[in-house]
Amino acid sequence: MSLLSIRDLVVRFRTHDGTVFAVNGVSFDLDEGETLGLVGESGCGKSVTNLALMRLLPLPAGHIDGGKVIFNGEDLLTLDESDMRDLRGKEIAMIFQDPMTSLNPVLTVQEQMVETIQAHRRVSKSEARARTLELLGMVGIPQPEARLKNFPHQFSGGMRQRVMIAMALALEPKLLIADEPTTALDVTIQAQVLELLSRLAAEHGTAVILITHDLGVVAGMTQRINVMYAGYVVEAATTKDLFARPRHPYTVGLLHSIPRLDAQPGEPLIPIEGAPPDLRFAPLGCPFAPRCAWRVDRCWKEMPSLEPIDPSYEVVTTGPQATHRAACWNPPTSGEVVAARPLRPGFEPAAPPAQVGS
């Protein structure tokens, strides 16, 4: 059985601008010790999915309107708040993009780490302090003894993120959710933090959900990837399969639109035209259809479900043999993946239904 199993999760925000359809039926599984990447642009629902599973959605706007989140055999959505509080930090820990807003600015590092440990473990203050020291050493903070009494603002960005990682791993959680952990960091510091994160997760057997918009980061860090768009998982595959044979037009578009350091000079970028949809409108059809060169009539009306790219495949949702799945009515062929456009003679993207009717 998987460590984590999310089924048909639906999250909406009720705002005075109307309902925001943030997550529209997301399902995925995660095994112990696995690293899963959730990739997508801002507003695709990758962070909201994880806030929902931690039951940390901003209230009163955020609502979980359906689905199940089974962690270790328990549905987290039915737990009462005190059980949930017990679980956060101990079983599932989280690291955010900006450590400055997630650390308490008026407490020293020692105070907040000891507090975290003592909230979940019956240990004396000196034991908690010793553990804190050990953790800070483990994440590579130089002279940890001297830094215990420092406040968060006295650390650099990279060091602060190390403190966050130390705190997240303090209680040896089974699952670590890292939400854009290196987006605010410089590239050489990002390399340090990613290296640390993957080494520690491997050593402790921690499962990791890595949320990022950076395909380069997930390529080196993860074993599996879910690509998200407008509140849906549109493609799910092992990291190797996803990059080798992208199947959803959005994934294909992303891979062609980012410049690669190792590309041939002068190679043009092929952008995805248009912009992500406004999530205040109820989803109708595939949300990517307006930007998609492969769309057919059906795409405007009906959202396809996530299906194996070869119908004969049996669906395996986790591990190195996970089935490559995509949600697309008219997936690009391998030649079209290379060309980044449809090559079928006479193929035109289907016009929106309003124009079809008139």
Partner 1 sequence: MSDMTPQTVAPAAGVPGRTDAAGSSSARPLVEITDLRMFFPITQGILISRHVGDVRAVDGVSLSIQKGETIGLVGESGCGKSTVGRTILRLYRPTGGRIVFDGQDITTAGGASLRSVRRRMQMIFQDPYASLNPRMTAAGIVSEPLEIHGVGVKSERQQRVRDLLATVGLDPSYGDRFPHEFSGGQRQRIGVARALALHPDLIVADEPISALDVSIQAQIINLLERLQGEFGLTYLFIAHDLSVVRHISDRIAVMYLGRIVETANSRALYERPLHPYAVALLSAVPIPDPAVEGRRRRIILTGDVPSPSDPPPGCHFHTRCWLRERLGNPDRCVAEDPALRPLSSGHQVACHFAEEVDGSAEQVQVTGRSPGAGGVAAAAGPAATAPYAPAGPPPRPRDRG
Note the residues at the interface with partner 1 (CB under 8 A). Answer: 33-35, 41-42, 142, 156, 158-159, 186-192, 194-195, 198, 202, 213-217, 219-223, 239-240, 243-246, 250, 253-273, 275-276, 320, 334, 337-339
User: Shortest CA distance to 30 belongs to which of 218, 280, 173, 208?
Assistant: 208
Smallest distance, partner 1 to C-beta of residue 125, A = 31
The residue among 261 and 354 lying less far from partner 1, judged by its C-beta, is 261
The residue among 134 and 186 lying less far from partner 1, judged by its C-beta, is 186
Smallest distance, partner 1 to C-beta of residue 263, A = 5
User: Shortest CA distance to 22 belongs to which of 4, 38, 56, 46?
Assistant: 46
Query: 195-223 burial string, b = 16+ CB within 10 Å, else e?
Result: ebbbebbeeeebbbbbbbbbbebbeebbb
The residue among 141 and 327 lying less far from partner 1, judged by its C-beta, is 141
Half-sphere exposure of residue 353, counting CA atoms within 13 Å on the CB side? 10
* Tokens encoding 117: 């440990």
The residue among 114 and 210 lying less far from partner 1, judged by its C-beta, is 210
The residue among 112 and 190 lying less far from partner 1, judged by its C-beta, is 190
Smallest distance, partner 1 to C-beta of residue 81, A = 34
Measure the CA–CA gap between 94 and 88, rounded to whole angstroms: 9
Measure the CA–CA gap between 227 and 244, rounded to whole angstroms: 14
Smallest distance, partner 1 to C-beta of residue 272, A = 4
Smallest distance, partner 1 to C-beta of residue 239, A = 5
Q: Is 251 helix (H, G, I), strand (E, B) or coil?
A: helix
Bond prior to 60 in cis (omega within 30° of 0) = yes
Smallest distance, partner 1 to C-beta of residue 216, A = 3
Greatest Cα pair distance in the chain = 76
The residue among 95 and 207 lying less far from partner 1, judged by its C-beta, is 207
